Chain A
Amino acid sequence: MSDLELLIFIGVCTLATFLTRVLPFVALSRQADHPLILHLGRYLPPAVMAILVIYALRDLTPWSAGQLNVSAQGVPLILASLAVVFLHLWRRNALLSIVGGTGLYMVLIQLVWP
């Protein structure tokens, strides 16, 4: 990939991301109080967040070839995800939950079941 291609790539990501942030302010400033907008504004963000979790875990295969899958897509993924949930329900500290879960996942796939 050339420098120019990288710059174009970054430019496209920048525009697409900014578009999601600026669109409501340009297009919908008059409909801010419409009940449908309020309804979507209330329920869509949590739904999208949960979809992102499912998307991130899509490669999860806990069972393969008749036994527990201990590769990156199996047991480590389950254990690390559970660790994030437990840490977050326990301390409700986003940093602790993310660093703790990620650290555990890295240890599991690099050292325990390499």
Chain B
Amino acid sequence: MSPALHSWRHAAIQTLPVMFGYLPLGAAFGVLYMQLGLPWWGAPLMSLFIYAGAGQFLAVTLLANHAGLVEVAVASFMLNSRHLFYGLSLLKRFRGAGWRKPYMIFSLTDETYSLLTSQARPQDAGVETHRLAARIGALNQLWWVLGTLLGTLAGATLNIDGRGLDFALTALFIVLTLEQAARLRQALPFLIALATGLGAILLLPERHLLLGAIGAASLLLLVHYRLHRQPQEART
């Protein structure tokens, strides 16, 4: 086996769990999209260019509700704002990745992030590490696009009753929350989420729910940081 093929295979094996998630989830997206009655090519195009699981499910909802473009931009940005903080922890890791870097940043989904951050930390992030990271990103996107195409095809040819399929997104969020809880083992962010999430539902109109809850959570964390820092600064 040639070295190039060997290293692709090495990357592919690491992405297997993501493949098992992306193929059915991408297919679910494809089926859901086809229920809108829009041209079929929109689904694979979204998986090629937007490439965000939750973001694309949200996009289907926005398309169905004929949302305005400003609302679309704000909602997409807010829903994916967690990625801002993924990038922060990879600033050093991606340093010196050269021409691969733009694609590595573009393909930074929840799952790619968790694969990259759960790898053993290489001491020197050399060309080999960057190449592997880029291939993991590319393979993950390949599974996502393939799944989307399968779902688009199934949605167009079979008369699938897709009612309830959108629960896949809720399930995905529940799974990601459990994973975060297992990693962090602290109640603080979840208590903050409970307070701001329920508060937003009670106080805010539907379209500002996410923005309000995530904004309030960031503010609370900022306050928590200030209170937490004060004693340390007083000592020094």
Contacts and interface: CB of A to CB of B under 8 A. Distances in A.
A72 B163 CA distance: 10
A110 B173 CA distance: 23
Interface string A53-94: 111111000000000000010001100110011001100001
Given A19-B77, A25-B105, A47-B189, A10 B92 contact: no
Contact of A51 (B62, B91, B94, B213): B213
A101 B66 CA distance: 29
Interface residues of B, number: 89
Contacts, number: 250
B28 interface: yes
B3 interface: no
B87 A24 contact: yes
Interface in A31-60: 32, 35-37, 39-58
B91 A53 contact: no
Contacts of B218: 40, 44
A54 B39 contact: no
29 contacts: A12-B69, A12-B76, A13-B55, A13-B59, A15-B73, A17-B80, A20-B83, A21-B105, A23-B84, A41-B89, A42-B184, A44-B189, A49-B177, A50-B177, A52-B177, A54-B198, A55-B210, A56-B169, A80-B170, A94-B21, A95-B17, A97-B171, A98-B24, A98-B171, A102-B28, A106-B161, A106-B164, A106-B167, A110-B163
The 4 closest A-B pairs by CB, nearest first: A24-B87, A54-B197, A50-B193, A16-B76
Interface of B: 17, 20-21, 24-25, 28, 38-39, 42, 45-46, 49-52, 54-56, 59, 62-63, 66, 69, 72-74, 76-77, 79-89, 91-92, 94, 101, 105-106, 108, 161, 163-165, 167-181, 183-184, 188-190, 192-194, 196-198, 201, 209-210, 213-214, 217-218, 221-222, 224-225, 228-229
Interface of A: 1, 3, 6, 8-25, 28-29, 32, 35-37, 39-58, 72, 76-77, 80-81, 84-85, 88-89, 94-95, 97-99, 101-102, 105-106, 108-110
